[in-house]
Structure 1
């Protein structure tokens, strides 16, 4: 190598140089050397260098370089900044560090905001976000809004929505202004199990100062999704709550909500859809067990996140099984019956099951539940009034019409009046407190429909579908039952029908683009979204447009196997490999 090439080098000393520079400036400040500005707050005086303050604060830069009188002065007095906060910001200018605590942040953040010290302001916001709890989130939200901290305000609002049931019991909640309360309870992302929680929160807020706040009741009731309340609750509300009973506007709102239940022809109006839209909650689908190909039975479970179009694996079932029922009750997933694969002396065999197991999402574990009285596969499973119903199915020899229900409080299965007909491969739905058993096979393909009234423990036949169907999708939206696709014993179906319980009538809707069998649907918590699964089509997601029942194919992350699914908190799905979406907010009949 040429000697001349080694005669120079470039040394990068940025970090040690920066540290040395800051340390040197700090020593000069502490010794009051070369200081050209004194910041005065009350009786306190803080010595500093204009160039240092201007380098970290646009506020100081404008003060010392503009046409302000402070440009030539050697002392500046501050009237509206806390002494400790100003001292902390000056220390930050010379050290790059700042101490933030619950005691200092309330004065430090406004000072950083006024002086436009963005990094300190950002750290103050991050600190407050880390301190959010049910008792302070409303106060932090106000604080953030006052000083224009947009991200912190969003974080506080999100916390309020996600923890509303705790927040609405705090002192901060009761001290909300009417406008602040209106904004919170109008939020689509308020996370509540039922809309009753929102009403009770408003009622508690009004009773906190009933004389002053009673006048706001009708306006606040507009924020409650009243159509989502049950008829029983609405009726009891009218009878027992004198605040509502004595207010004409409140009575009108309750009457409109009752019309939603008793006059379904008005449900598809724009205003009604808005007031009846469910609030958002975490939307996930669980894919449970099922089959991989013709012979392999699965025990694995996966969770699908629609927001990110991704799947994750979860704890497996205790045994591989398929053709079971699945539903969600009390925040747990129940897998009921089906056909399970067992091993005996190294030889596998399949058996129709009466066993039941439940999955706890908090611990990601499965637990055994009391057995049913009968073995059932291809059964129907629904949840009604906090109880789990198992309907019909096939026990390996006979098609069943028997029904039993699981009572969690008693941890036992109880017999229920049997269906009028034996059914397997059928669909079930719950609407207006009634259980519907739709179509199926037993031992012929059926289009018949029957309905169970729990108050009478009795079944009655209702209007049949136009088509016989097995292995089809069913969903409940806006007070109607939708059935989709399936097989009629001769061919696969693309048809869709809608049942109106008040008219006891099925109406044909615009069909799918192609016939589908093995589709099972789940109503998400968005206003009208249906996810469903197809046994025969891979890697596709479908949606129905809200205005014309047009079907669109959309890409989605695929399941790893054909399997049963359920939507956490809503209707079960079962079978298939691909996902589709249906959005029939307005589904015109043909």
Structure 2
């Protein structure tokens, strides 16, 4: 892939010259960009980022942004690749400084710094004073700091870094130091921003909230997101995120009065805009995004479930019909995997267990092996290379069960059951976990599934303002103002037992070390 990246980048730079622009080859330039963007991986993202930084060609500037975002979002895998060791000190510091760097534990960031330094220890050992302040030391466990940071040879031989570690341990014992003029950086104790946030739309009450998975907390999104003439009494719609906007698609004023209207809200500029309407009015529809286009499928109209499907191209603000599905479906759910759209379940004249996929290259729908359980009002997501169908209901029976589809074998298999039953809920994949959100019985629940343990767990349970509320969700990411949709990043000071006595020992050792260095000097 590295050779291919160099090849396509070379084409883009040649095509972007003034001479080649005269021959109207922008479509080939765009094709090369899309090939590179779609094939960014942990092994080549740093090389692409470094290459595109030296060019001021618009399409390469966009590719630089895509590569850098990939590095931050997949940092744990990227830091183990060979290209990671080729970063300059300034480049690595820039990456580690990102507030939305995605890591499970901050110790991963520290270990990446050591790996980079140990690759060329003589030349890079002094870089620890630049890189260690980029690590959120205050989020680490005290025992890890003492065993792996404070006593590390690279840190011990660098007075500036050693002082940073001891100051961090002091703050763990005396949080008031953060409010003093001690010079300690509060950022060392602040959680990083999540790379994605779940926006929840409560269809009956027309409210919008955001779930921050990194803190398992909800925040009420600013009231300016709700535009009265759009949201009032609108129901049975669906939502999707694309670019820097979320779209409200279809729905209607009642179950028997579907709409074809579409609204877009820009999450950065906080502005609403009505877009071109769909070709067909539909409520209880399925919506997804594939290759920067929005697809809508099925839904309900004139007391009948629909087979029709449409594609929306934002760049020309236009909807067009695509091939119709094999089944009529409303209250179904869909997702994308391997450049195909999968839609599962729903209802027509019966509750469906059928599933099918759409190939945009051939404009054809193909039925796949049916699910083991008929499901209406279910949730479907792509997860770890498989399609997961979760919850829903079978007639009047709500379901806790879940199952997954392997596209290579065309078979379904059971996944562990959820803690609660959910129907007409929100579902999304964030941080390599599946999140399910529902509002019922005056409670709001968030469950999450982790493939490493094959278990579901309740990560949030709180009061709901109404007895029952249908929920629609979409995941937002890559916004310059992500902090607006996350819980406040206040410094968090982990308290530990016997910290005061421990710090006295550390301070004594630190003072002795400085004293000995002065004598040796």
- If the TM-score is normalised by the length of the shorter chain, which range does it land in? 0.5 to 0.7
Q: Does 1:180 align with 2:89?
A: yes
CA–CA distance in structure 1, aligned partners of residues 274 and 101 of structure 2: 29
The residue that corresponds to 2:210 in the other structure is 303
Q: Does 1:283 align with 2:196?
A: yes
Deviations 1:176-206, CA, capped at 9 Å, x for gaps: 974537846986968699xxxxxxxxxxxxx
Query: What SS does the corresponding residue of 1:371 show, helix, strand or coil?
Result: coil
Aligned length, in residue pairs: 302
CA–CA distance in structure 2, aligned partners of residues 444 and 372 of structure 1: 26
Query: What SS does the corresponding residue of 2:413 show, helix, strand or coil?
Result: strand
CA–CA distance in structure 2, aligned partners of residues 540 and 360 of structure 1: 28
| Superposition CA RMSD, Å | 3.4
> In the TM superposition, what is the alpha-carbon distance from 1:490 to its structure 2 partner?
4.9
The within-5 A match list for 1:228-377 is 281-292=194-205, 298=206, 300-308=207-215, 309-314=217-222, 315-317=225-227, 318-320=230-232, 321-340=234-253, 351-377=257-283
> In the TM superposition, what is the alpha-carbon distance from 1:489 to its structure 2 partner?
1.8
The residue that corresponds to 1:147 in the other structure is none
> In the TM superposition, what is the alpha-carbon distance from 1:413 to its structure 2 partner?
0.5
The residue that corresponds to 1:274 in the other structure is none
> In the TM superposition, what is the alpha-carbon distance from 1:424 to its structure 2 partner?
0.2
> In the TM superposition, what is the alpha-carbon distance from 1:486 to its structure 2 partner?
1.2
Q: Does 1:566 align with 2:474?
A: yes
CA–CA distance in structure 1, aligned partners of residues 296 and 329 of structure 2: 12
Unaligned runs of 5+ in 2: 1-66, 73-84, 103-191, 479-521
CA–CA distance in structure 1, aligned partners of residues 291 and 283 of structure 2: 24
Say if 1:484 and 1:497, in contact at 8 Å, map to a contact too.
yes
Larger Rg: 1
Q: Does 1:464 align with 2:370?
A: yes
Say if 1:286 and 1:301, in contact at 8 Å, map to a contact too.
yes
Say if 1:381 and 1:388, in contact at 8 Å, map to a contact too.
yes
Q: Does 1:553 align with 2:458?
A: yes
Deviations 1:469-504, CA, capped at 9 Å, x for gaps: 011122211111111111122522221101111111
Of 398, 409, 413, the residue aligned with 2:319 is 413
Unaligned runs of 5+ in 1: 1-159, 166-175, 194-278, 293-297, 342-348, 571-590
CA–CA distance in structure 2, aligned partners of residues 385 and 372 of structure 1: 19
Q: Are residues 443 and 163 of structure 1, via their aligned partners in 2, closer, same or farther at CA, if it must alter by over 3 Å?
A: closer
> In the TM superposition, what is the alpha-carbon distance from 1:322 to its structure 2 partner?
1.8
Say if 1:325 and 1:337, in contact at 8 Å, map to a contact too.
yes
Q: Does 1:529 align with 2:429?
A: no
Say if 1:322 and 1:564, in contact at 8 Å, map to a contact too.
no
Query: What SS does the corresponding residue of 1:285 show, helix, strand or coil?
Result: strand
Say if 2:425 and 2:472, in contact at 8 Å, map to a contact too.
no
CA–CA distance in structure 2, aligned partners of residues 517 and 281 of structure 1: 27
Say if 2:419 and 2:458, in contact at 8 Å, map to a contact too.
no
CA–CA distance in structure 2, aligned partners of residues 188 and 465 of structure 1: 45
Say if 1:402 and 1:417, in contact at 8 Å, map to a contact too.
yes
> In the TM superposition, what is the alpha-carbon distance from 1:509 to its structure 2 partner?
1.6
> In the TM superposition, what is the alpha-carbon distance from 1:543 to its structure 2 partner?
2.8
CA–CA distance in structure 2, aligned partners of residues 367 and 442 of structure 1: 33
Query: What SS does the corresponding residue of 1:440 show, helix, strand or coil?
Result: coil
Say if 2:438 and 2:446, in contact at 8 Å, map to a contact too.
no
CA–CA distance in structure 2, aligned partners of residues 188 and 558 of structure 1: 37
CA–CA distance in structure 1, aligned partners of residues 414 and 69 of structure 2: 40
Q: Are residues 162 and 186 of structure 1, via their aligned partners in 2, closer, same or farther at CA, if it must alter by over 3 Å?
A: closer
CA–CA distance in structure 1, aligned partners of residues 454 and 257 of structure 2: 41
CA–CA distance in structure 2, aligned partners of residues 517 and 564 of structure 1: 11
The residue that corresponds to 1:495 in the other structure is 401
Q: Are residues 459 and 411 of structure 1, via their aligned partners in 2, closer, same or farther at CA, if it must alter by over 3 Å?
A: same
CA–CA distance in structure 2, aligned partners of residues 282 and 569 of structure 1: 6
Query: What SS does the corresponding residue of 1:383 show, helix, strand or coil?
Result: strand
Deviations 1:220-252, CA, capped at 9 Å, x for gaps: xxxxxxxxxxxxxxxxxxxxxxxxxxxxxxxxx
Deviations 1:57-106, CA, capped at 9 Å, x for gaps: xxxxxxxxxxxxxxxxxxxxxxxxxxxxxxxxxxxxxxxxxxxxxxxxxx
Higher relative contact order (CA 8 A, sep 6+): 2
TM-score calculated relative to the size of structure 2: 0.52
Deviations 1:381-419, CA, capped at 9 Å, x for gaps: 011111111101001432110011111111110110010
Say if 1:475 and 1:482, in contact at 8 Å, map to a contact too.
yes
Say if 1:164 and 1:191, in contact at 8 Å, map to a contact too.
no
CA–CA distance in structure 2, aligned partners of residues 508 and 286 of structure 1: 28
Say if 2:250 and 2:258, in contact at 8 Å, map to a contact too.
yes
The residue that corresponds to 2:449 in the other structure is 544
Q: Are residues 163 and 483 of structure 1, via their aligned partners in 2, closer, same or farther at CA, if it must alter by over 3 Å?
A: closer
The residue that corresponds to 1:236 in the other structure is none
Say if 1:324 and 1:377, in contact at 8 Å, map to a contact too.
yes
The residue that corresponds to 1:378 in the other structure is 284
Say if 1:381 and 1:391, in contact at 8 Å, map to a contact too.
yes
CA–CA distance in structure 1, aligned partners of residues 351 and 409 of structure 2: 25
Q: Are residues 188 and 519 of structure 1, via their aligned partners in 2, closer, same or farther at CA, if it must alter by over 3 Å?
A: farther
> In the TM superposition, what is the alpha-carbon distance from 1:373 to its structure 2 partner?
1.1
CA–CA distance in structure 1, aligned partners of residues 95 and 208 of structure 2: 36
Of 489, 499, 504, the residue aligned with 2:410 is 504
Query: What SS does the corresponding residue of 2:89 show, helix, strand or coil?
Result: helix
Deviations 1:554-584, CA, capped at 9 Å, x for gaps: 33555655342222149xxxxxxxxxxxxxx
Say if 1:439 and 1:447, in contact at 8 Å, map to a contact too.
yes
CA–CA distance in structure 1, aligned partners of residues 477 and 272 of structure 2: 17
Greater shift in the superposed pair: 417-426 or 476-485: 476-485
CA–CA distance in structure 2, aligned partners of residues 304 and 374 of structure 1: 32
Query: What SS does the corresponding residue of 1:284 show, helix, strand or coil?
Result: strand
CA–CA distance in structure 1, aligned partners of residues 90 and 408 of structure 2: 37
> In the TM superposition, what is the alpha-carbon distance from 1:326 to its structure 2 partner?
0.8
Say if 2:437 and 2:445, in contact at 8 Å, map to a contact too.
no
